[in-house]
Amino acid sequence: MKTLAGKLALVTGASGEIGAAVALRLAADGAFVLAHYGTNRDGAEAVVRQIIASDGEAEAVGSDLSAPDGARALFDRADTVFGGRHAGHLDVLVNNAGTFAFGSLEDSSDDDFDRVFAINVRAPFQLAREAVRRMSATGWGRIVNVGSVFGQAAPAAGMSLYCGPKFALAGMTRAWSRDVVSVDRFGRGRDVAEAVAYLASPAASHINGVCLNVDGGWSA
């Protein structure tokens, strides 16, 4: 059984290593995949070809997420692909696109600041806002923000313009859970069992030393 059969998924930064792997996996689970790219169109189209070759469905959609209207432009383009049959709809959003700038505080420029916060913070905010509007219409949806361990700690000098946006994304993720999800029950044995089954599976082979709260977002 394909768990995402018939669902529409948008993966930003799908031309990069992580985004490409996510797009391929969601397609294997049955989703129609929108593979976003910023500048690497060839990379995104290569991912689309792999998905189609595996009997999946995907389209490449480009947009500059550093631009103030980049998120809006991405949704506008997304509404035209697949023959327009998914216009106004979205089931899964994966905010994966990101950029970075390294350097000491005194050497970092305003342009660097604006660019990394535009792509790593503003764009996920704008995309999630529109995604929630679309998901609310159907009563189902998932938003996944791909962060970094640098959103939990700053282990080295010269990382302020990478850590800052990642900390911000982590904070927004927690806050959004209060806006879009109502924690109306305690967790059940089945909820914990599903998490344990995942952690015990080969799919969780690179997860280690993590405390996973299965609480519906109560502890966010």
- Please tell me the total count of domains within the chain: 2
The 10s digit of each residue's pLDDT in 140-181 is: 999 999 999 888 888 889 989 999 999 999 999 999 999 988
Instruction: Say if 105 falls within a structural domain.
Output: yes
Q: How far apart are the first and last CA of the chain?
A: 32
**Domain assignment of residue 201, given as a range:** 187-220
Instruction: Say if 1 falls within a structural domain.
Output: no
Q: Give the separation between CA 73 and CA 80, rounded to whole angstroms.
A: 11
φ and ψ of 210, to 5 deg: -105, 135
Q: Give the separation between CA 220 and CA 207, rounded to whole angstroms.
A: 20
- 32 and 124 share a domain? yes
What does the DSSP 8-state code read for residue 116?
Answer: H
- 218 and 146 share a domain? no
- 194 and 97 share a domain? no
Q: What is the predicted pLDDT for the residue at 75? A: 98
Q: Which residues are catalytic?
A: 148, 162, 166
Q: Give the separation between CA 41 and CA 104, rounded to whole angstroms.
A: 32
Instruction: Say if 213 falls within a structural domain.
Output: yes
Q: Give the separation between CA 63 and CA 78, rounded to whole angstroms.
A: 10
CATH classification of the domain holding 109: 3.40.50.720
Instruction: Say if 3 falls within a structural domain.
Output: no
- Residue numbers in the chain where pLDDT is lower than 50: none
Instruction: Say if 144 falls within a structural domain.
Output: yes
- pTM, 2 dp: 0.94
Q: Which stretches of the chain are assigned E, i.e. beta strand? A: 8-11, 32-37, 57-62, 92-95, 142-145
- 46 and 63 share a domain? yes
Q: What is the predicted pLDDT for the residue at 35? A: 98
